[in-house]
A and B are shown apart, each in its own frame.
Chain A
Amino acid sequence: MQYPAWEDLELGAAITTPGNASNLKTGDWRSSVPVLDEDKCVKCGLCAVYCPEFCIAEDEEGFYRPDLYYCKGCGICAVECPKEAIKMQREGE
């Protein structure tokens, strides 16, 4: 991401483009990634409810999968899943 020079900052460092938080790639923060075990998952959707990034959505097969652009790897989904269907795996492993 390109950060602005001080001359290009808005007055008082204000944000003048509403809703620009959706551009923020919180996925950059991740050191672990949630991996779904489809055999254990009962498609209850609880992980999506608990995800603080609201980045888990239902796919065509009914599985709940994170959008890795936003998933910050916090592991809350893995803790909250009643079926232990999500394992956190170190990035790059």
Chain B
Amino acid sequence: MGKRIGTEVSIAVAEAVKLARVDVISAYPITPQTHIVEDLSQIVANGELEAAFIPVESEHSAMSAAVGAAATGARVYTATSAQGLALMHEILFIASSLRLPMVMTVANRSLSGPISIWNDHSDIMAERDIGWIQIFGENGQEIFDLTIAAFRIAEDKRVLLPVCVNMDGFILTHMIEPIEVPDQELVDRFLPPFEPAMKLDPANPVTMGPVGVPEIYTEAKKQCDVALTNSKPVIEEVLQQWAEIFGRKYSLIEKNGTESAETVFVTMGSLGETVMTAIEELNAEGQSVGQVRIRLWRPFPKEEFKQAIKGVKRLIVIDRALCPGSTSGPVAAEIKALLYEESEKPEVINVIAGLGGRDVTRKDFKTMLDMALKGEFKDDYTIWGVRSHAE
């Protein structure tokens, strides 16, 4: 089944989109997403994929065209990053509120300013409440797999929502990794042709996106909120089927390190791999430390997260985005709110790390653990690695 190839992860994502047999790709190039759409345009131009590639003039148009195409019942893909995602902003809400399945890769990059093309999660965190399913991958194979699985999730009749797969810019997009690319036949078995629940059809006219008068708007929002919340078991089911066919199992929340660890690092995205090697070394030194990776960010897997951190004394939550003027970074805020009702809850230390492509290494995690054990984190959140005249 399939073949294992050494490839840049962006090229692998393009391959995944091809294997998913999308009908429409509507995208505008932006660093570090460029290689994905560049490669896709080539694949379409070469006739390797029968799809319409719409080279739009902006990301606002990219998402608008994606919405229009999805409304006609097409299987739709797009990809963007940072300023591009921000330019899509208003249309992202429309895609989810129209309940249109589609898949978007976000090559996570810092939002300007100052201008930065490097990696953090400020772009997607600014779009946290768009009502999309939001997944974070940790390595190339995972991104490849989740990209195909995302179509199944989005198109499931019990879901019917757009899905955003987050991959860290450069760290994943430009990494060359061995990736197992399955045969088309196997992918076809996993991902049947898209059968839209509703589409624009002159024979059966419908109005999509009418005004939601005050008597309707609240109910429309409720419908989307319930759909997003209820997508969680379907996502689990689809990932289980993925495991059965392709042999790689992805859980919504993943745990590593010492069983019943005292201190647990919480991460999303590729930093989880760095944490994994750091805690391996720390465990070897006898430190009681583990890690929890959040793979599904929206809907937030509340029960699974609580289960994963049961009995833990201390969480070090790594945020890759800043919530200026808030109580903590977005991930820590989520976790603190989730734990509020619990009678026994861990201390939550929040470290904002790796902003704008600043490297976060194993050594950083070891220092964080050391500081945490000494009780040196005093503030609501700590911006890691800031040069300062203080102290």
Contacts and interface: CB of A to CB of B under 8 A. Distances in A.
B197 A11 contact: yes
Contact of A11 (B99, B205, B207, B222): B99
Contact of B219 (A4, A11, A14, A18): A4
Interface centre among B97, B197, B208 (most CB of A within 10 A): B208
Interface in B197-223: 197-198, 205-210, 212, 215-216, 218-220, 222-223
Contacts of A12: 97-100, 198, 208-209, 220, 223
Nearest to B204: A16
Interface in A1-30: 3-7, 9-16, 18
Contacts of B206: 10, 14-16, 18
A76 to B, nearest CB: 22
A16 B197 CA distance: 13
A27 B198 CA distance: 32
A13 B227 CA distance: 13
A6 B215 CA distance: 11
A14 B201 CA distance: 13
A14 B198 contact: yes
A13 B198 contact: no
- A interface: dominant SS: loop
A12 B227 CA distance: 10
B111 interface: no
A14 B207 contact: yes
B160 interface: yes
B210 A13 contact: yes
A15 B207 contact: yes
B371 to A, nearest CB: 48
A4 B213 CA distance: 12
Contacts of A9: 216, 219-220, 223
A11 to B, nearest CB: 5
Nearest to B218: A6
A11 B205 CA distance: 14
A7 B222 CA distance: 9
B205 A13 contact: no
Contacts of B205: 18
Interface centre among A4, A9, A13 (most CB of B within 10 A): A13
A1 B212 CA distance: 15
Contact of A13 (B197, B212, B226): B212
A78 B391 CA distance: 77
Interface string B90-132: 0000000111100000000000000000000000000000000
A11 B160 contact: yes
Contacts of B208: 12, 14
Nearest to B208: A14
A13 B215 contact: no
Contacts of B160: 11
B131 to A, nearest CB: 11
Nearest to B198: A11
A14 B206 CA distance: 7
A11 B97 CA distance: 9
Interface centre among A4, A5, A15 (most CB of B within 10 A): A15
A7 B205 CA distance: 22
A18 B200 CA distance: 12
A64 B221 CA distance: 43
A89 to B, nearest CB: 28
Interface string A26-68: 0000000000000000000000000000000000000000000
A13 B97 contact: yes
B95 to A, nearest CB: 10
A1 to B, nearest CB: 8
B100 A13 contact: no
Nearest to B160: A11
A90 to B, nearest CB: 25
B222 A6 contact: yes
Given A6-B223, A9-B223, A15 B215 contact: no
Contacts of A3: 215-216, 219
5 contacts: A6-B220, A9-B220, A11-B198, A12-B99, A15-B210
Give me the 5 closest cross-chain CB pairs, A-B, nearest first: A6-B219, A15-B207, A13-B220, A12-B99, A6-B222
Interface of A: 3-7, 9-16, 18
Given A3-B215, A14-B207, 5 more contacts: A6-B219, A9-B223, A12-B99, A13-B97, A15-B207
